[in-house]
Amino acid sequence: MGASRPSIPIQVQRQKIATESQKEILQISDDDKNKIFNFYKDIYDTAYEKHKTYTTLVISAGYVIYFNIWKSLKDVLPKEELLFSGVLISISVCIFISYEVYKMISDGLFYQEINKLITLDASIETISEIQKKEKEHRRNFYSIWLNFLLPTVLTAIFGAFFLVGGLLKEIFCDLFV
């Protein structure tokens, strides 16, 4: 049998406990509010630093490696395959960099808003506003992310496919023809 719903007195009791918990949260001392406030500030500072590191790492790693391989195979592969592969990967790079630029601008504006809130005061309302803005920012980020991710990955995969396919074709022709 499935689980049954709690009886009305149990639901009332849960609601009463929730209300009492909310009252306790509002009775936090100013010192504790400052600690919570500084905790959130540290989280956002750390997130921003990690964001910068992530952006630099991804851009400088994946595409640089591909273009080095592409450059080393330019004398081996037919011109058409090199060009087609290079165009597809270049499109992928452009889409990805566009996304990273969008993300940097969006994050910069977001952190600017958070910084304004942080400098106002360390009240529960400010912390609540920071949480609200962070949730909205994250929701906006994920809605845009997939729109950039799919074309970036697909063009990169097809570009790599043509590069590897051209290399395999040349190997096969050298070995068996």
Residue 13 lies in a domain: no
Residue 166 lies in a domain: yes
- Indicate the DSSP class of residue 138: H
CB-count burial class (<10 Å; 0-12, 13-18, 19+) for 46: exposed
Sign (positive/negative) of CA torsion 63, 69, 72, 73? negative
Number of domains composing the chain: 1
Q: Which domain holds residue 45?
A: 31-176
Residue 16 lies in a domain: no
CA distance 83 to 66: 14
pLDDT digits (tens, 9 = 90+) for 44-57: 767 866 866 776 68
- Phi-psi domain of 79 (left: phi exceeds 0; alpha: psi -120 through 50; beta: other): alpha
Residue 20 lies in a domain: no
Average pLDDT over residues 152-162: 89
pLDDT digits (tens, 9 = 90+) for 74-108: 888 888 888 999 999 999 999 988 988 988 898 88
Residue 117 lies in a domain: yes
Residue 104 lies in a domain: yes
CA distance 168 to 172: 6
Q: What tokens does 34 get?
A: 């400052």
Give pTM, 2 decimals.
0.60
